[in-house]
Amino acid sequence: MAQLLITGGAGFIGSHTCLILLEAGYDLVVLDNFSNSSSESLRRVAELSKIGHEDRLKVFEGDIRSREDLDRVFFSARDGIHAVVHFAGLKAVGESLLFPLAYWDVNVGGSRTLLAAMRRHGCRTIVFSSSATLYGDPREVPITEKSKVQPINPYGRTKAAIEKMLSGYAKAEAGWRIAFLRYFNPVGAHQSGQIGESPSGIPNNLFPFVSQVAIGLRDHLQVFGGDWPTKDGTAIRDYIHVMDLAEGHRAALELLQHEEPQVLTFNLGSGQGYSVIEVIKAFEQESGRSVPYVIGARRKGDVACSVADPSYAAKCLGWRTKRSLNEMCRDSWLWQQSSPQGYLE
């Protein structure tokens, strides 16, 4: 079976995608520097997937900015690496405003070094983790792939730059198969509760924060703004269950491998928006716990509403989300209960 390189495979989305790809029969090599993850996630992935032997999931500690680390990984694959799924990178919007050069270095510099390694080793298929953040404050909702790319923070600008760099490569040299997957708001966890999102320190994102309030690690949630032009005044997002997202990667890989070389862009979201208050209510229902909150000021850089038009992905990939907001809350809660400190225990 084809062997894939998964950069950042120990992280939140990477670990769930590794599980789906192992179940689909792929052999995997993960390269991760564990700057925002733990090898424990991959140990659990191996356990959940019941892979018989270590050869199907090899793990290398290393950096995508290092030519030597990448060569080591490519040389390790006996029959070559057939495709790369590229998750590795920095992802916090607020941090990118404070340390923009780190974002250009890791995200853009790392992707450039990875691409050069792919060329050296004759691999021309890549699925890239892009983000809805590159639409900035969208002019129209739902957002289609043709909507204007106008990022409003350094993180988003690095995602837009990587897309440009990769599509430029594909124009300069024939044979590239590239998919940009623009994720909306990935949340939830595997239904076993064994793998999930393990943020270090105070979570930036809504779901991990709500989970920590529900379990009593924090006493309340601050809702960022109650005066947005939405039905209840709180901001609307398109939340996508991480297992649905993982299945989207499998669909994209299959399409790339079976069609002519091309560059494709897909919005991966559900097409359904929920307000912060609706998320809190759904989480309370699923956990049976109360989630106290106070409405505070808007967070800098936030937008009122971000919802995907997922119809192009449905048409080309035959993929659409299957899991509801309540399932996202249920699985996040299961994960929070089974591993209250994430992988740290």
Nearest CB to ligand UFG, comparing residues 5 and 235: 235
Please name the residue ranges forming H helices in the chain: 12-23, 40-49, 67-76, 93-98, 100-103, 110-120, 154-172, 206-214, 242-258, 276-287, 311-317, 325-338
Q: Kindly state the smallest distance separating residue 174's Cβ from ligand NAD, in Å.
A: 27
Residue 254, SS3 per DSSP: helix
The yes or no reply on residue 89 touching ligand NAD (CB under 6 A) is yes
Shortest distance (Å) from residue 86 CB to ligand NAD: 7
Among the listed residues 26, 103, 155, 183, the single catalytic one is 155
How buried is 261 (Cβ within 10 angstroms: 0-12 exposed, 13-18 middle, 19+ buried)? middle
Q: Would you tell me which residues interact with ligand UFG (CB under 6 A)?
A: 91, 93, 131-133, 183-185, 204-206, 209, 221-224, 235, 237, 276, 299, 302
- Cα(313)–Cα(100) distance, rounded to whole angstroms? 31
Rank residues 192 and 222 by Cβ distance to ligand UFG and give the closer one: 222
- d(CA 166, CA 178) in angstroms, rounded, equals 8
Q: Give the whole-angstrom CA distance, residue 309 versus residue 119.
A: 34
Q: Give yes or no for residue 332 binding ligand NAD (CB under 6 A).
A: no
d(CA 75, CA 56): 16
Task: Indicate if 103 belongs to the active site.
Answer: no
Q: Minimal CA–CA distance to 299: which of 92, 94, 91, 152?
A: 94
Among the listed ranges 27-35, 71-79, 269-277, 280-288, the one in contact with ligand NAD (CB under 6 A) is 27-35
**Interaction partner, residue 209 (ligand NAD, ligand UFG, none; CB < 5-8 Å by kind):** ligand UFG
Nearest to ligand NAD of 131, 234 (CB atom): 131
Among 10-18, 71-79, 164-172, 296-304, which window interacts with ligand NAD (CB under 6 A)? 10-18
CA separation for the pair 168, 149 (Å, rounded): 16
Closer CB to ligand UFG, 91 or 249, in the complex: 91
Q: Does residue 35 touch ligand NAD according to CB under 6 A? A: yes
222 binds, among ligand UFG, ligand NAD, none (CB under 5 to 8 A by kind): ligand UFG
Q: Is-contact 136 303, C-beta < 8 A?
A: yes
The entry of ligand NAD, ligand UFG, none near residue 211 (CB within 5 to 8 angstroms by kind) is: none
The answer to whether 33 contacts ligand NAD (rule: CB under 6 A) is yes
Q: 6 forms bridges with which residues in the sheet?
A: 30, 85
Give the catalytic positions in this structure: 155
